[in-house]
Structure 1
Amino acid sequence: MNKVSRFARRAFAATAVVVALSAPAFATHREMRDDPAAVADHLHRMGFISWRYIKWDHGYWKIEDARRDNGHEYDMKLEAGTFDIVRLEREHD
């Protein structure tokens, strides 16, 4: 039978624990990143009726030409997860 050092067994066990604990965090981030429908729902609740596109961009959601009932259009960037507005710029007519 192969003898594995105590250090190697502990290192393997510690690595396994770290991977097991970090997997849900990665899943949540990926789920949030891959769900533009959640962003669209949030935009509707903010009063926007249409937009050209929703795009994931380096930790943020980028929305181009988001339009309200009054006809004004905005480009914006929302923080992932919280959907807090990071940038809001009204387009000029």
Structure 2
Amino acid sequence: MKTNLLTVAVAGLMTLAPLAYADQHPDAQQRAALEKALTTAGYVSWGEIEMEHGFWDVDDARKELGSRQKFDLKVDPATMTVTEEKIDN
């Protein structure tokens, strides 16, 4: 019985773990590092930034001011490098 209870408890915690990162916005220090990384990578503007699945998710990044072409980005929080770039339709 104790083993079953422990298994259920561990499974429940594993299910909730990703929620700890959901909708986490960067603090001032993280935002400054992200802005530097995005600017260095050639982006001039972007929208909302939040932590999703262990990566910073950057919405509506643009490489030119006024450009209609936008990108959704994933940024590795450990290295502050863009690891994924998808065109946002």
Shorter-chain TM-score above 0.5: yes
Find the partner of 2:40 among 33, 45, 64. 45
- Distance in 2, matches of 1:84 and 1:42, equals 7
Determine if the alignment matches structure 1 residue 83 to structure 2 residue 84. Answer: no
Task: Give the 4+ runs in structure 1 shifted more than 2 A.
Answer: 83-87
Q: TM-score, normalised by structure 1?
A: 0.55
Q: Which ranges of structure 1 fall in alignment gaps of 5 or more residues?
A: 1-32
More strand by share: 1
The percent of aligned pairs where both chains have the same amino acid is: 28
Determine if the alignment matches structure 1 residue 61 to structure 2 residue 56. Answer: yes
Once the two structures are TM-superposed, the CA of residue 66 in structure 1 deviates from its matched residue by 0.4
CA RMSD between the two structures: 1.9
Q: TM-score, normalised by structure 2?
A: 0.57
More helix by share: 1
- Distance in 2, matches of 1:53 and 1:65, equals 8
